Amino acid sequence: MSDSSTKKQIDHASVLARSASQQAMIPGSNKTRWQLLQQAQHASSVAYTLADPQNKQPLETPVKIYQAHVLSLVRIYEKRSSMQKLIHHILQITIFVGAALVTVIVGIPEVPKLAPALLSGVVTIATALANYYKFGEHSRDLYLTSEDLAQEYNWFGTKRGPYKEKDAEVALELFMDRTETLIRKQTKRSFALGQQKEKLEEGK
């Protein structure tokens, strides 16, 4: 078999492995997800064997595939939480410092009258943005979700908590169920915060 032909087969098997892995991450029945993860493992094993015929070990197992998925979610939520927190702090500092400066410069005759008006406008805008988008609440919610997912990840990896003394397939199914429940709850909370914004707009 030529090198180019082998490379094509490796690429094809790798694509199948990634595709099956991605489909397995979509919420569905445990049986379907397990089958998809098994397919991903098989395709990964084929690709690895073609690349190194002397080694029959698969590149990834169903457990490793899903663990990597959860770990990536933890990092995504942490990153989003940090960004929301940064915006929240910037707005709060703008509000506090701006409000204090307005009070000070109003009493200084040398300062143009337009300055406190502009500064007051900035404070008003920052306050409106903070109240409307609720960056602080989103940040806390995302952080707590990332912590909960990380805890499940650690429990599963060390076979503690609800995963203690469970066989691999049952433990993985439970891991999927519990992590997906956390993700759904976070999505619902974000949606609820979005509805609060819509009600605020309707009340104007």
pLDDT along the chain (204 residues), means of 10: 53 54 52 59 56 53 80 93 97 95 87 89 95 93 96 94 90 91 92 71 58
So what's the pLDDT on residue 29?
47
Torsion of CA 160, 138, 86, 96, to 10 degrees: -130
So what's the pLDDT on residue 185?
94
Largest CA distance in the chain: 88
The domain segmentation of the chain, as residue ranges, is 3-51, 62-202
- Nearest-10 crossing angle of helices 114-133, 62-106: 150
Give the list of residues 6+ apart from residue 171 with CB closer than 8 angstroms, or none. 156, 159, 163
So what's the pLDDT on residue 25?
53
So what's the pLDDT on residue 82?
96
So what's the pLDDT on residue 11?
57
Q: How far apart are CA 19 and CA 40, in angstroms?
A: 8
Q: How far apart are CA 12 and CA 176, in angstroms?
A: 27
Give the list of residues 6+ apart from residue 175 with CB closer than 8 angstroms, or none. 66, 70, 152, 156, 163
H/E run at residue 15: helix 3-24
So what's the pLDDT on residue 65?
77
CB distance 70 to 46 below 8 Å: no
So what's the pLDDT on residue 148?
96
Q: Which two tokens stand for residue 8?
A: 């094509």
Mapped onto helix, strand or coil, the DSSP state of residue 28 is coil
